[in-house]
Amino acid sequence: MAPTHVLRCCQRGLAWIPVIFIALVVCWSYYAYVVELCIFTIPSIGEQSKYLVVYLIFFHLFFIMFVWSYWKTIFSQPANPSKEFCLPKAEKERYEKEERPESQQEILWRAATSLPLYTRTGAGAIRYCDRCQVIKPDRCHHCSACDMCVLKMDHHCPWVNNCVGFSNYKFFILFLAYSLVYCLFIAATVLQYFIKFWTLCRRKSAEHCPKNELPDTHAKFHVLFLFFVAAMFCISILSLFSYHLWLVGKNRSTIEAFRAPVFRTGSDKNGFSLGFRKNIAQVFGDQKKYWLLPVFTSQGDGLTFPTRLVNADVEQAAVTLQPEPNER
Ligand SMILES: [Zn+2]
Ligand SMILES: [Zn+2]
């Protein structure tokens, strides 16, 4: 095997480490909550056992939703530009032979006339990826980690070892939402046992402890650590989740938040914003019953996006097409 090939295989393998780390933490959190807390600790304090069923039902509900959305974020293949965005064979050969950038741009402009493109490079040229040899659709960017052009690319996330973009942005938002709910639920329900363990009875068996006091068992480590880990994740996820909710409301990707897209009329950070409700529908779809489920309901094909400009034009067209009052 060539050394570059071996290196690439190693890189691919190492890229899974953050995902494996998260998976191990999640498996341990399941064991700590269900076995150590709900099976060993809570039954040892008789009067709290009535909460047990409620705890377990909600815990499993949040756990399933979290794992489902995480899974979908990791294993959704990033969407790539379709064939129409590739140059025809003859044009591609001419483009490669051509050395002058102006002549290359001419070839691209000719090929782009039939394509629905509204954005340009900062210099006003057609956006072209030399690596993938494709005209980049609006909001599409090349990811160096995935080595491909990704539609509506948001960012490459090491925690899911995947590109977050058009194909999985909804799943990513739900993954953040459910991980936050999961951690909040754990932190909130574990808190009272966390406090009890700090003030625990020093004896190793519940029989020798006063009523309502926890014995000093191996569950102590798991319960104390569970609270710390859940609280720590809550704080870090909350900021990221709030930021992405703000982006959804503005219909911006992370890349666009840092560098505004350039349209024919110039750069416009709100170029794809259609208003709060329509922006949310772009990612989550217009059927509210699917909003909380990690199933694909984002609008469009990822290749073209309605812009503020086009939207305004459509509205103007609708106004001019309305019949005059004397024609009715
Ligand atoms: Zn590319
Ligand atoms: Zn990527």
- Percent of the chain whose pLDDT exceeds 70: 87
Distance between Cα 167 and ligand 2 center (Å): 12
Q: What is the mean pLDDT of residues 258-264?
A: 93
Structure confidence at residue 285 (pLDDT): 96
Q: Within 13 Å and on the Cβ side, how many CA atoms surround 212?
A: 3
Nearest to 223 by CA among 36, 40, 44: 36
**pTM of structure:** 0.88
More confident residue, 113 or 208: 113
Q: Report residue 84 as tokens.
A: 């129409």
Average pLDDT, the chain: 88
Structure confidence at residue 234 (pLDDT): 95
Q: Name the least confident of 39-53, 90-104, 307-321.
A: 307-321
More confident residue, 98 or 180: 180
Contacts of 261 (CB under 8 A, 6+ apart): 119, 138, 139, 267, 268, 269, 271, 272
- Give the closest ligand to the alpha carbon of residue 137: 1
How far is residue 78 CA from its own chain's centroid? 12
3-state secondary structure of 87: coil
Query: CA-CA distance, 58 to 53, in Å (whole number)?
Result: 9
Rounded-to-10 torsion of CA 10, 15, 21, 24? -80
Distance between Cα 143 and ligand 1 center (Å): 7
Query: CA-CA distance, 173 to 157, in Å (whole number)?
Result: 12
The answer, yes or no, to whether residue 212 has pLDDT greater than 70, is: no
The answer, yes or no, to whether residue 324 has pLDDT greater than 80, is: no
β-pairing, 141-143 vs 262-263, is: unpaired
When pLDDT is cut at 50, 70 and 90, the band that residue 52 belongs to is confident
Q: Report residue 268 as tokens.
A: 């416009």
Q: Phi, psi (5° rounding) for residue 12?
A: -60, -40
Structure confidence at residue 47 (pLDDT): 55
- Give the closest ligand to the alpha carbon of residue 136: 1
Distance between Cα 78 and ligand 1 center (Å): 12
**Contact at 8 Å (CB) between 95 and 103?**
no
- Give the closest ligand to the alpha carbon of residue 149: 1
When pLDDT is cut at 50, 70 and 90, the band that residue 70 belongs to is very high
Query: CA-CA distance, 250 to 229, in Å (whole number)?
Result: 32
Q: How many helices (H) and strands (E) does the chain have?
A: 10, 9
Distance between Cα 228 and ligand 2 center (Å): 31
When pLDDT is cut at 50, 70 and 90, the band that residue 40 belongs to is confident
Distance between Cα 94 and ligand 2 center (Å): 30
Structure confidence at residue 320 (pLDDT): 31
The answer, yes or no, to whether residue 213 has pLDDT greater than 80, is: no
Distance between Cα 81 and ligand 1 center (Å): 9
Distance between Cα 128 and ligand 1 center (Å): 8
Q: Name the least confident of 7-11, 135-139, 232-236.
A: 7-11
Distance between Cα 130 and ligand 2 center (Å): 17
The answer, yes or no, to whether residue 93 has pLDDT greater than 80, is: yes
- Percent of the chain whose pLDDT exceeds 90: 69
Cα-Cα-Cα-Cα dihedral sign, residues 142, 148, 152, 155: negative
When pLDDT is cut at 50, 70 and 90, the band that residue 327 belongs to is very low
Catalytic residue among 157, 183, 209, 234: 157
When pLDDT is cut at 50, 70 and 90, the band that residue 205 belongs to is low
What digits encode the pLDDT tens for the residues 267-310? 999 999 999 999 999 999 999 999 999 999 999 999 999 988 75
Q: What is the mean pLDDT of residues 34-47?
A: 82
- Give the closest ligand to the alpha carbon of residue 164: 2
- Tokens 């491909």 locate to 148
**Contact at 8 Å (CB) between 69 and 175?**
yes
Instruction: List residues, by chain if needed, whose CB lies under 5 Å from ion ligand 2.
Output: 143, 145-146, 156, 163
What digits encode the pLDDT tens for the residues 150-173? 999 999 999 999 999 999 999 999
Q: What is the residue type of 275?
A: G
Radius of gyration of the chain (CA): 27
Q: b or e along 158-183 (b: 16 or more beta carbons within 10 Å of the residue's beta carbon)?
A: ebbbbbbbbbbbbbbbbbbbbbbbbb
Structure confidence at residue 201 (pLDDT): 61
- Give the closest ligand to the alpha carbon of residue 131: 1
The answer, yes or no, to whether residue 325 has pLDDT greater than 90, is: no
> What are the sequence ranges of the domains in the chain?
1-78+158-319, 83-157
Highest mean pLDDT of the ranges 65-74, 116-125, 196-205: 65-74
Distance between Cα 47 and ligand 1 center (Å): 61
Q: What is the residue type of 103?
A: S
Structure confidence at residue 305 (pLDDT): 94
Instruction: Verify whether residue 157 is a known catalytic residue.
Output: yes
